[in-house]
Amino acid sequence: MYKSIFRMLEVSIFDTLEEVVDTNITVSSTVLMIIISFICGFLISFVYMKTSENGKYSKNFALTMVLLPAVISSIILLIGSDIARAFSLAGAFAIIRFRSEPGEPKDIAYVLFSMASGLALGIGEYIFAIAFSLVLCLVMFGLAKTNYGNNKIEYKQLKVTIPEDLDYETEFKEVFEKYEVEYYLKKVSTTSLGSLYKVYYDITIKNDMPIQDFMDDLRVRNSNLDITLSLNSK
C-alpha cells in the first residue's frame, strides 16, 4: 500500500516538473524581448542621468540600468511557469542586497523600476512594459525638473568652541534670532584640559542665508575660536 502511494506521489511530482520546464520559447519572441528590454533600459538609464542632482551620477549604475531589464526578462522567460515566476520574483528583488554600497532612495527606485520593466517583458507583456517605462520616465523627469520635494530649509550641524567662562546657553541666542536660525543644543564637551568647551548644535537655516556673516557674528561671540558648520544636509 505504501509503495503504491509513493509511486503515485513520484509520478505526480515528475509530471509537475515536466509542466514547469515545458516552455514555448521561440527565436522571434526572444529577439523581440531583448530588443525592447534594451530600449527600456536605455530609456531608464537616460532619465536617471538627466535627473541626477547637479549632474552627479554613477557611470556603473547607469550601465546597470541598461542591462537590468534584459537580465530580468531573460530569467523570467527561461523559468516560464506561474509558480516559478513567484519564486523568481522574490529572488530577483533580492539582487538589490548585493550592491557594494547603499545608494540613495532614488537609486533604489530606479533599480525596482528596471526590474519591473524586465519582469513585464519576461512574461510577454511588451505593450505594458513600454507604456510603463514611458509613463514612469516622464513622471521622474517631470519631478526632477520641477524640483518636487525641494526643501527651502537646510538642516546643518554646528560646532562652536568657547572659553570656559562663556554662557553657551544664552550667548549665541541673539545671533540665532538675527538670522532666523532654529537651533537645538545637542551636546557639550570639554577640551584643552577643561579650559575650553565644545558646543554642538543641530540647526536649520534658510537657503539664502548669508553664511559668512553668520559665522563672523559667531566668531565675535566666541573670541575667534574654532567654529565648524557642516556643508552637507543631515
pLDDT of residue 140: 84
Domains and CATH numbers, the chain: 2-145 (no CATH), 153-229 (3.30.70.360)
pLDDT of residue 2: 45
Helices (H), the chain: 2-21, 27-50, 59-79, 82-93, 105-122, 126-145, 173-178, 211-221
pLDDT of residue 116: 86
pLDDT of residue 200: 92
Q: At 86, give phi and psi (nearest 5°).
A: -65, -45
- Identify which of 61, 145, 67, 54 has the alpha carbon closest to the alpha carbon of residue 103: 61
In sequence order, the β-bridge partners of residue 190 are: 197
Return the sign of the alpha-carbon dihedral for residues 99, 103, 107, 108. positive
Amino acid found at 122? G
pLDDT of residue 11: 43
The CA R_g of the chain, rounded to the nearest whole Å, is: 29
Task: State the cell numbers at 109.
Answer: 527606485
Mean pLDDT by 10 residues, the chain (234 residues): 48 44 64 88 88 76 85 74 62 57 70 84 85 87 76 77 86 88 87 85 83 88 87 56
pTM, rounded to two decimals: 0.53
The number of residues in the chain equals 234
DSSP letters spanning 191-209: ETTTTEEEEEEEEEEETT-
Count other Cβ atoms within 10 Å, centred on residue 199.
20
Query: Do residues 129 and 82 touch, judged by C-beta distance below 8 A?
Result: no
C-alpha pair distances (Å), 175 with each of 130, 197, 219, 224 = 56, 19, 11, 15
